[in-house]
Structure 1
Amino acid sequence: MSDATTDRLPTLGDLAWMPALAHPELLADPVAAALLAWSATQERVLAEVAVAAIDPDHADTETLNAVHGLPPEASANCVVVSGRRGDAERVAACVVTATTRADVNTRVRKLLDARKASFLPTDRATDESGMEYGGITPVGLPAGWRVLVDDRFTTPGVLALMGSGLRRSKLLMPGDLLCAAPWVEVVAGLGVTRG
């Protein structure tokens, strides 16, 4: 990778960020495959998606932010929700900042056109995504899942810190790049203030 490419790599906190596609060992297999496919159509992926190794005991957002000096508004927390209407189940990954929570009962339920929405059980979320609990990310999810991202990440200069599919590393990219991913739906007001 050229110096010009690594010069665009985002950094945050005190973690040692490296080009993600140069370190597939720090990515879950579906994440690495999705980033590679995306990089074929979006050159920014090579230059602006970073990965850093972390202590898996620090994978939870609050701990990670405290240990590494990371701002909570950059943390792109990903929760998986399912909703049902009749016999049809609809699954969505919802990405909001750590300063908010996904509005599952109102906003997400309506987007899924479901009578009720609830968090997907952990074992299903990990089994079906091929990712570890605490590392599920909006990159590389099953094709049938919708990926809803809060519009706060479209703000210029905002970074999105997220799982890598593994508990032992994190991904970092500009929020506008995440929002431009072909599988992402940007949703205004997806995250609501924690109360």
Structure 2
Amino acid sequence: MLDWVPAADRVDLLAAPVAKTTPQTGVELKVAEIDPELSDTAAFCERYGVALEDSANCVIVAGKRGGEVRYAAVMILADDRADVNGVVRRHLDVRKVSFAPQAEAVELTGMEYGGITPIGLPADWPVLVDEKVTQRDFIVIGSGVRRSKLALSGKALVEATGAEVLPIAL
């Protein structure tokens, strides 16, 4: 059973960049402590009874254009796959896009791998949210650390991050 509480009341359960950004989101964020060994989506959903379609994953992607690396966060429902080399690549205006290497994503975000979330990312990174995520009244996302999860609506996620909504799911 998950015990959801206001994220502002438990900043100890958030990565530093997430805790710093949370008050500025203007949305109601809830946080719940979890077993960090169960942070990966499938294990989390199974153990805590959360449907895959109520869980959204954040993937950090990188593409190059003119020697410049462009990073973005892509949010997609856990039971979908992202069209990284189609919609995302064209949106970022790069020749090729790939998943950012784990160590690089961790270093650049200040978050733990397996807990990276779009809240608290570098301000110049676009957040791209699949349109199906925005249709969910309740979604679970990372908190920046593996020992907790955040919950909010899909619309609140867009509002909190200034995200762009695209048809990303394949």
TM-score of the two chains, using structure 2 as the length reference:
0.96
Offset of residue 60 of structure 1:
0.2
Aligned mate of 2:19, from 27, 32, 39: 32
Say whether the 8 Å CA contact 1:84–1:116 is kept in structure 2. yes
Matching residue of 1:102 = 82
Is the contact between residue 100 and residue 191 of structure 1 (CA under 8 Å) also seen in structure 2?
Answer: yes
C-alpha contact 2:59 2:75 (8 A) present in aligned 1: yes
Letter in 2 for 1:28: A
RMSD of aligned residue pairs (Cα, Å):
1.1
Structure 2 equivalent of residue 142 of structure 1:
122
Does 1:57 find its partner at 2:37?
Answer: yes
161-170 or 85-94, larger mean C-alpha shift = 85-94
Q: CA deviation at 1:119?
A: 0.5
CA contact under 8 A between 2:64 and 2:70: conserved in structure 1?
yes
Instruction: Name segments (4+ residues, structure 1) moved above 4 Å.
Output: none
Q: Indicate the structure whose relative CO is greater, using CA pairs within 8 Å and at least 6 residues apart.
A: 2
Per the TM alignment, residue 182 of structure 1 is displaced from its structure 2 partner at its CA by 4.8
Partner residue of 2:169? 191
Work out which of the residue numbers 42, 61, 86 in structure 2 matches 1:81: 61
* Counterpart residue identity of residue 2, structure 2: L
Q: How many residues of Structure 1 are paired with residues of Structure 2 in the alignment?
A: 170
Q: Aligned residue for 1:22?
A: 9
Q: Could you give the per-residue CA deviations for residues 58-107 of structure 1, whole angstroms, max 9, x where no partner exists?
A: 00000000001101001110000011112121111000001101111111
Give yes or no for contact 1:153–1:159 (8 Å, CA) kept in 2.
no
Could you tell me which runs of 5 or more consecutive residues in structure 1 were left unpaired when the two chains were aligned.
1-13
1:181 is paired with a residue of what secondary structure? helix
